[in-house]
Amino acid sequence: MTRRVHEVMTGKPVTVDKLTSLAEAARVMRDADIGDVLVVDEGRLRGILTDRDLVIRAMAENRDPARTTVRDICSTEPITIKPDDGVDEANDLMRRHALRRLPVQTGDGELVGVVTLGDLAVERDPGSALAAIAAADPDT
């Protein structure tokens, strides 16, 4: 039986408003121990900001993290998946679009989670190195 995205995703996604500074978004990511935040405007998904975006699009370009907003550098129009879609579909979307994470939205646009490459690795092959890394506590 095919497992569904809602069975493997991380619920309660962390969001920031599109006008949040990069410095604040980085603190949110640090405090939540995550590598991305979903960018919202009036509760609607507008983008995704990753730790890689912070490095490549902001720090490497000498942007001021206190004055630059997440809207300025986040990936817009993120590809999403529904909670009742199959894990295989999530895997295919990630492979086709070279993604490491997918926001999970209901049909009416409510954000309910994020499914990550690590979530899928734990589901597919619990003994793999990626699954072990995804399941491990961070060394902070």
Residues 6+ positions from 137 with CB-CB distance below 8 Å = none
pLDDT in the model for residue 43: 86
CATH code of residue 77:
3.10.580.10
Give the closest residue to 3 by CA, choosing from 87, 80, 81, 83. Answer: 87
Flag whether 140 is in a domain: no
pLDDT in the model for residue 121: 83
Per the structure, the count of domains in the chain is 1
Give the CA angle between residues 31, 26, 79 to the nearest 5°. Answer: 100
Kindly state the tokens that stand for 65.
Answer: 């993290």
Flag whether 87 is in a domain: yes
Flag whether 98 is in a domain: yes
Residues of the chain with pLDDT under 70: 1, 124-140
Place of tokens 């603190």: 27
> Can you give the residue range of the structural domain that contains 29?
5-135
pLDDT in the model for residue 138: 54
pLDDT in the model for residue 118: 87
pLDDT in the model for residue 2: 80
Flag whether 28 is in a domain: yes
Q: Structure pTM?
A: 0.84
